[in-house]
Amino acid sequence: MTTSISPPDTVPEEKAAPHRMPFWVNQRLGLLVLVIALSVLFGVLRPAFLDQQLVLFPLLRDVATLTVVALAQMVALSVGHMNLAVGRMAAFGAMFAGLGYDRLGVPMQVGLLLCLAAGAAIGAVTGWLIARTGVSSFVVTLAMDFALLGLVSLLYSSLTDDAAFTTHPSGIDALRSYSLADICAGPICGSPAVPQIAQFTVLAMLALGFLYGCTRIGRELLLTGANPAAAELSGIPTGRRVLLAHTLSGLLAALAGFMAAAGTGTFRASIGDDFMLPSFLGAVLGGTLLTGGVVSVLGTLLGTALVGVIRKGLDLLGVGLESLNIYLGCVLLLALSADRIRTVVSYRKVVRST
């Protein structure tokens, strides 16, 4: 006989359909509305905000990169873990691409593949460690973060003169500056605001959306996060799924590193230095649960977009870079408090109706 902390559940009669939250409380919709509303607001306050080439293009390029970072975190969160080393894994992967371009002169696609392979490998090592030893992902990825910090710096200083690989194929420059405006179907060209580099983000989103929405493995990942013990007993190979999640996380982090490097044109050790906070912000604001079991690919994009719009808007309004972080931290706290309030309110509603 077991005692459970949760309430016992005898009901003499079945309950009617439980209360469903009203449609407009849907998190994704709320985020979308916020993003649009804030963009409009900033556009009104500073018309320069809506400048497609000078403002929106770099903004969307940043959002594209950070969304991939947030997706990397989302994948780790999906199994109930976290990846504190997203930044360093990005730098690690990017380093291999840079190495390939600089020393081996490989074409752009091969460099990208090297980068992704390196990210996947380091993610796999992390996942293997976590699955094998059962140590919390927090500690393992934190330690991995610092080990990589040291390793990447060491490798850069031993392989290069000034801690950066600068040689790269012209494809990288194209990635950095091309936008949809360069793609024309007849007389109609795309908007100059949408960067070409966003193609990676779209691909990643489609792939993950397919994985989590339509495939067996995606579902098994989510259930591993929702309840690892039940998952194991239901026949899910939780150890392998955890390994897969971390491998994917590493791969996505590496992709983000590549995108960041393409964005600046050089491959250096400092790539990914400030990836950690945005990775959590985007994922959590978008509705991915810290405890695992629920993810939202679209929400991650919207969450990152929201943060990006706030950043850029405040920047244009003259709010210093320093204060930005202060506001962002407060936004995170407020958003999560609002979520808690929502949960409490819905709990009370159900109790009253019983």
Phi and psi of 195, rounded to 5°?
-75, 150
Task: Identify the CA nearest to 78 among candidates 274, 287, 235, 270.
Answer: 287
Q: How far is the CB of 45 from other proteins (least distance, A)?
A: 22
Q: Kindly calculate the radius of gyration of the chain based on its CA atoms and give it in whole angstroms.
A: 22
Residue 354, exposed/middle/buried by CB under 10 A (0-12, 13-18, 19+)?
exposed
The separation between CA 258 and the C-alpha centre of its own chain, rounded to angstroms, equals 14
Residue closer to other proteins by CB (options 41, 347) is: 347
| Alpha-carbon torsion angle 253, 258, 264, 268, nearest 10 | 80
Subset of 227-256 contacting other proteins (CB under 8 A): 227-239, 242
Contact characters 32-71, other proteins, x per CB under 8 A: ----------------------------------------
Residue closer to other proteins by CB (options 88, 168) is: 88
Q: How far apart are CA 24 and CA 137, in angstroms?
A: 35
Residue closer to other proteins by CB (options 68, 140) is: 140
Residue 129 lies near other proteins (rule: CB under 8 A): yes
SS (H, E, C) 77-115: HHCCCCCCCHHHHHHHHHHHHHHHHHHHCCCHHHHHHHH
Phi and psi of 49, rounded to 5°?
-60, -35
Number of residues in the chain: 354
Residue 329 lies near other proteins (rule: CB under 8 A): yes
The helix/strand/coil state of 164 is: strand
The helix/strand/coil state of 246 is: helix
Looking at 47, 326, 342, 345, which residue binds other proteins (CB under 8 A)? Answer: 326
Looking at 32, 113, 117, 151, which residue binds other proteins (CB under 8 A)? Answer: 151
Q: How far apart are CA 78 and CA 86, in angstroms?
A: 15
- Residue 3 belongs to what H/E stretch? none
Looking at 21, 215, 342, 345, which residue binds other proteins (CB under 8 A)? Answer: 215
Residue 145 lies near other proteins (rule: CB under 8 A): yes
Q: How far apart are CA 33 and CA 35, in angstroms?
A: 6
Residue 284 lies near other proteins (rule: CB under 8 A): yes
Looking at 22, 23, 318, 322, which residue binds other proteins (CB under 8 A)? Answer: 322
Residue closer to other proteins by CB (options 170, 354) is: 354
Residue closer to other proteins by CB (options 53, 323) is: 323
Subset of 156-195 contacting other proteins (CB under 8 A): 157
Q: How far is the CB of 53 from other proteins (least distance, A)?
A: 29
Looking at 119, 293, 299, 313, which residue binds other proteins (CB under 8 A)? Answer: 293
Residue closer to other proteins by CB (options 187, 235) is: 235
Residue 7 lies near other proteins (rule: CB under 8 A): yes
Residue closer to other proteins by CB (options 60, 77) is: 77
Residue 270 lies near other proteins (rule: CB under 8 A): no
| CB-based contact 234:68 (threshold 8 Å) | no
Looking at 138, 167, 203, 345, which residue binds other proteins (CB under 8 A)? Answer: 138
Residue 144 lies near other proteins (rule: CB under 8 A): yes
Q: Binders of other proteins: how many residues, by CB under 8 A?
A: 100
Looking at 8, 22, 187, 318, which residue binds other proteins (CB under 8 A)? Answer: 8
Looking at 57, 59, 80, 285, which residue binds other proteins (CB under 8 A)? Answer: 80
Q: How far apart are CA 218 and CA 210, in angstroms?
A: 8
The helix/strand/coil state of 312 is: helix
Residue 303 lies near other proteins (rule: CB under 8 A): no
| CB-based contact 79:290 (threshold 8 Å) | no
Q: How far apart are CA 127 and CA 133, in angstroms?
A: 10
Residue 22 lies near other proteins (rule: CB under 8 A): no
Applying CB under 8 A, the span of 37-45, 77-85, 111-119, 304-312 interacting with other proteins comes to 77-85
